[in-house]
Amino acid sequence: MSPVIVLLLLIATASAALAHVLWGRRLIQLPIFLLAAFAGCLVAYASALRLPLPLFTPAGVPVLEAVLAAWILLIVASRLRV
């Protein structure tokens, strides 16, 4: 497995787990949070979103931007009544 995919999955899983601890009410929300977080990470990586800061990018993954995009989509997903 590519290091990029592993890193994106780790970021998405950690973000989704924290979002479920903060906002989750039912177990069915966890897979939805996982999908939303992974989509946010993937959008940040695929669109090459970069902040004008010289930050560390392991395996070419912009970690801060991926986390921010994941949390934006997690906030949207948490507001949906599922």
Domain ranges, ordered by start, for the chain? 3-79
66 pLDDT above the threshold of 90: yes
Query: Whole-angstrom Cα distance, residue 31 to residue 14?
Result: 13
Q: What is the pLDDT of residues 2-50, one digit of tens each?
A: 999 999 999 999 999 999 999 988 999 999 999 999 999 999 999 877 7
Residues 33, 19: contact at Cβ < 8 Å? yes
Dihedral (CA of 71, 72, 75, 81) sign: negative
pLDDT-derived band of residue 82, with 50, 70 and 90 as boundaries?
low
pLDDT at 32: 94
Query: Whole-angstrom Cα distance, residue 14 to residue 10?
Result: 6
CA distances from 23 to 2, 10, 45, 66, 69 (A): 31, 20, 26, 20, 18
61 pLDDT above the threshold of 90: no
